[in-house]
Amino acid sequence: MSTNVKIIFETDSLITENETVKDFVKNSPAGHCSVLLEGTHYIVVKENKKTPLTLEKVRSTAGNIARDLSGRKVEAAEVSAEVLTNGFAELDNKDLLTAFAEGWDLGAYQFVAYKPSVTAFKTTLVVEGNAEEQDSVTLGKNRADATSFSRDLMNELSNVLNPETFPEVLKQQFEGTGVDVNVLDKDKLEELEMNGVLTVGRGSTYKPAFVELVYKGDESKPLVALVGKGVTFDTGGISLKSGKDLSDMRMDMGGAAAVAGAMTLLAKTKAQVNVVVLIPMVENMPDSTAVLPGEVIKYKNGLTVQVGNTDAEGRLILADALIRAGEWKAEYIVNIATLTGAVVAALGTELGGVFGDAELSADMKKIGDINGDFIWPMPLVEAYDSSLDSDYADMNNISSLSVAGSITAGLFLRRFVPKGSKWLHVDMAGVMDKSKASGYYAKSATGYGARLLADFTTHVSK
């Protein structure tokens, strides 16, 4: 059955007055709104809570409604911009419309490629409003599209998305968008001495690659390099991971998905920015050819690294990308990676950790607070730096400490940051996926970082 519904907004008195409306009553996770389905009306009840309404609550509410209606195969839902913005007076009207449309599309997101019995269905959101209001809605849809692209990449299986196919997917994604896609193959990696990528990729049947996405929205703006960890599956290598189900390790390219999503959004919105995205791509596999614990990698900048643990592979490939960002003469460098289990222990699954430049970290936190990619500034504790010392190389890829694993990973990366660049490192291991659908999140990949890095890039390009 496919009916169209109209979304209206009411005050909380409606709950008690309409006790007969038993059809559907649900509290949003944010606890701010209840939604009731009555006939062809979908009523969002704005509760008189003391806590201020946030854009995140708007996104979550829209996501909950969209998922519910899509599940009921409702073709379209109508909402008037005026009614929507009246219902939520404390927020900027444009931001509110964008958030609602963004939350809507993300809430209806499904990854059903491997469920032949399920057809993805999304209730179309129809907003009645003027041209300016429609622009705000379109922006929300674009933000959702970019984030959904990141989700799709992360959810995809590792036999389908691997270092040989990933560059092709990106070529297709950016065709005709004004983004140049440079794919550096194994020969080029050798020429450029990307020895971290070459070494980590040695155990895989798939040849490693390095992709550069170049977008010159405004060449006069400072060059921002966005670096994403692209490990298409992390078995741990010879330091093999153990555990019941390692399926989630197909998402160890979450950083790559984030920067590709950010670039999608920046290009789509014709952002006046100057960006290069750098993605080292490998599959971390054990094999007779794989890197062995104890081997030493010599990097192009002269540093040597003992591979104390082949499962600390992310930092080994990001090191090459940081050196490369220096060759590009990037003024700002932000790398993002599903880097450490330790960040999950520290911050849990609701927010990422950001390390590096204190002022920029604070800026990034503010951006995440608004756009939903929540993040918390973390310290690079100098006293822990010597824990990366090696007996026979300049440094080890694992710390001798048994604690502070996300900090020592950040300290490792810092040694490769080119002089003169302002740098941030985002560890998104805790936020790469959700264990259940809620708000505007589906179960599984979150698409974290696409919005965060796009908005951050725009922020530093003002």
Which three-class secondary structure state does DSSP give residue 161?
coil
Largest CA distance in the chain: 76
Closest distance of CB 309 from ligand BES, Å: 4
The Cα 198–Cα 320 span in angstroms is: 10
What minimum distance in Å lies between the beta carbon of 351 and ligand BES? Answer: 15
**Interface characters, 195-234, with Zn ion (x: CB under 5 A):** ------------------------------------x--x
Q: Which of 142, 173, 338, 446 touches ligand BES by CB under 6 A?
A: 338
Taking CB under 6 A as the rule, does residue 102 contact ligand BES? no
What is the spatial distance between Cα 410 and Cα 425, in angstroms, rounded to a whole number? 7
How far is the C-alpha of 223 from the C-alpha of 283, rounded, in Å?
29
Closest separation in Å from C-beta 231 to ligand BES: 6
Q: Tell me, residue by residue from 423 to 442, as one string, x for binding to ligand BES by CB under 6 A and - for no binding.
A: ------x--x----------
Residues 6 or more apart whose CB falls under 8 angstroms from that of 384 comprise 399, 401, 404, 407, 408, 411
Q: Judged by CB, which is closer to Zn ion: 252, or 357?
A: 252
* Number of residues lying near ligand BES (CB under 6 A): 16
Smallest gap from residue 313 Cβ to Zn ion (A): 5
Buried b (16+ CB within 10 A) or exposed e, 214-236: bbebeeebebbbbbbbbbbbbbb
Query: Which residue lies nearer to ligand BES by CB, 252 or 357?
Result: 252
Q: Which is nearer to ligand BES, 217 or 255 (CB)?
A: 255
> Does residue number 308 form part of the binding site for Zn ion (CB under 5 A)?
no
Q: For this structure, is 22 an active site residue?
A: no
Question: How, if at all, do strands 332-337 and 223-228 pair?
Answer: parallel
Whether the CA torsion 386, 391, 394, 396 is positive or negative: it is negative
DSSP structure string for 419-453 = TT-EEEEEE-GGGSEESS-BTTBPSEE--TTHHHH
Alpha helices by DSSP H, 279-385: 314-327, 341-347, 358-371
Q: Which member of 230, 280, 372, 405 binds ligand BES (CB under 6 A)? A: 405
Residues in region 272-331 near ligand BES by CB under 6 A: 309, 311-314
Q: Which is nearer to ligand BES, 230 or 372 (CB)?
A: 230
- For residue 175, CA distances in Å to 13, 167, 264 come to 52, 12, 11
Using alpha carbons only, how large is the chain's radius of gyration in Å? 23
Q: Tell me which residues in 200-239 interact with ligand BES (CB under 6 A).
A: 234
What the block records as the tokens of 301 is 């900048």
For the record, the structure tokens of 400 come out as 């001798």
- Binds ligand BES (CB under 6 A): choice among 341, 345, 358, 403: 341
Q: Write down the least CB distance from residue 432 to ligand BES, Å.
A: 6
Q: Distance between CA atoms of 19 and 135, rounded to whole angstroms?
A: 38
The reply on whether position 342 binds ligand BES by CB under 6 A is yes
Q: Residue 132: how many CA atoms within 13 Å on its side-chain side?
A: 5
Q: Is 436 a catalytic residue?
A: no
Q: Mapping DSSP to helix (H, G, I), strand (E, B) and coil, where does residue 25 land?
A: strand
> In angstroms, what is the minimal distance from the CB of 241 to Zn ion?
7
From 115-123, 299-307, 333-341, 442-450, span contacting ligand BES (CB under 6 A): 333-341
Q: Which tokens in the block code for residue 418? A: 């080119």
The partner in contact with residue 429, picked from Zn ion, ligand BES, none with C-beta cut-offs of 5 to 8 angstroms by kind, is ligand BES
Among 286, 314, 353, 418, binds Zn ion (CB under 5 A): 314
**Residue closer to Zn ion (CB basis): 234 or 427:** 234
Q: Could you say which of ligand BES, Zn ion, none residue 342 binds, taking C-beta under 5 to 8 angstroms by partner kind?
A: ligand BES
Q: Is 196 one of the binding residues for ligand BES (CB under 6 A)?
A: no
Catalytic residue among 26, 115, 188, 241: 241
238-273 burial, b at 16+ Cβ within 10 Å, e below that, comes to bbeeeeeeeebbbbbbbbbbbbbbbbbbbbbbebeb
Gap between the Cα atoms of 364 and 427, Å rounded: 13
3-state DSSP call for residue 306? strand
Instruction: Tell me: does residue 311 bind Zn ion (CB under 5 A).
Output: yes
| Contacted entry of Zn ion, ligand BES, none for residue 428, CB cut-off 5 to 8 Å set by kind | none
Q: How far is the CB of 65 from ligand BES (least distance, A)?
A: 31
Residue 59 or 229 with smaller CB distance to Zn ion: 229
Note whether 336 binds ligand BES by CB under 6 A: no
Q: Which residues are catalytic?
A: 241, 315
Residues that bind ligand BES (CB under 6 A): 234, 252, 309, 311-314, 338-342, 398, 405, 429, 432
